[in-house]
Chain A
Amino acid sequence: MVTNAASFGRSGVHDFILIRASAVILACYSIFLVGFIACSSPLTYDVWHSLFSTLPMKVFTLLALVALLVHAWIGVWQVLTDYVKCTSLRGVLQFIFVVTVFCYLAAGIVIVWGV
């Protein structure tokens, strides 16, 4: 067995499940948003504001942001372990990426719950 500590999941199966579950959430969120934009004509500030004022939409958005973090963490870890062979450089890149994604998550929470 090959061990690793930098990925998100505890094992290969865990990563496999997480990346697919997060993909389903992101797909649902994207389809919902595209559908909403397509069906809301005209799409005014008030319509957009009222959509994000509801609790279910806030929770759904937060869920999508967490799914994005998980999906991107595992995906970028896989890409970096394929292409960046220098361990220290890979560690630094992974660190920068994960911190950035956490910043996006934090900013997203503040923005969504501020509406």
Chain B
Amino acid sequence: MKLTFAVYRYNPDVDTKPYMQDYNLEVAEGSDMMVLDALIKLKEQDPTLSFRRSCREGVCGSDGVNMNGKNGLACITPISTFKGKKLEIRPLPGMPVVRDLVVDLTQFYKQYEKIKPYLINDEKAPAREHLQSPEERAHLDGLYECIMCACCSTACPSFWWNPDKFIGPSGLLHAYRFLIDSRDTATEERLSELDDAYSVFRCHGIMNCVDVCPKGLNPTKAIGHIKSMLLKRAV
């Protein structure tokens, strides 16, 4: 069985502009593999092909790419998903390309940094640990699982147009994770930082983030909760 690929290629040291390069891969009839395995085999054919990968099991979030127009993790996306069609692999959209499928995520991490992704607690430290009830802990489900692969934020038009001002779905999912955490005491300060026309309210709820999240999370719902918290605080 012959699989065909078109892979985005761009080496700023050599190429004047990006181009799509076609590759063929022979695999056993009826077999399946993940897109990352195919990329590794393509790299054996062409060692100049560059992409990021680490854990190869959907945990590290390194190999987010755009496959036939939809963002996802190459390591947990089976080739069979594309039903024998030619597979176009491009870098995550909207980000500056470092080389081939490797993008510069500086802006993405800057937005993450803005939300202060750590517990802030100005109360006297307990003797052993901050305890949470099972109900309080349950609030963090669907939030803490984010692996920051950037699939959601780079699928969001609001993040494409204002990556310096709009926090983006991933950052806001993390923001809500700390806003709802019973051990965090900086809720008011966190909300004050988010209360502008860009940081949260540039989300118009188109749910591209939900559509592409490889972990099945729902950033739009978390953003809705943040908007409600800001509204309750203001009205």
A residues sitting closer than 8 Å to B (CB atoms) are 1-4, 7, 9, 11-17, 78, 81-83
Contacts and interface: CB of A to CB of B under 8 A. Distances in A.
Given A1-B192, A82-B161, A16 B198 contact: no
Contact of B158 (A3, A4, A16, A82): A82
Contact of A11 (B165, B193, B197, B227): B197
Interface string B180-208: 00000000000011111111111000000
Contacts of B231: 13, 16-17
Given A1-B192, A17-B231, A17-B235, A12 B161 contact: no
B197 to A, nearest CB: 5
A1 B195 contact: yes
B132 to A, nearest CB: 29
B80 interface: no
Contact of B196 (A2, A17, A82, A83): A2
Main secondary structure of the interface of A (DSSP, over half): helix
Interface in B192-235: 192-202, 227, 230-231, 233-235
B193 A1 contact: yes
Interface string B151-179: 00000011001100100000000000000
A12 B199 contact: yes
Contacts of B233: 13
A1 B162 contact: no
Contact of A15 (B158, B161, B162, B201): B201
Nearest to A19: B201
Contact of B195 (A7, A12, A78, A82): A12
Nearest to A9: B197
A81 B162 contact: yes
18 contacts: A1-B194, A1-B195, A1-B196, A2-B165, A4-B197, A11-B195, A12-B195, A12-B196, A12-B197, A12-B199, A12-B201, A12-B230, A13-B201, A13-B230, A16-B201, A17-B235, A78-B202, A82-B158
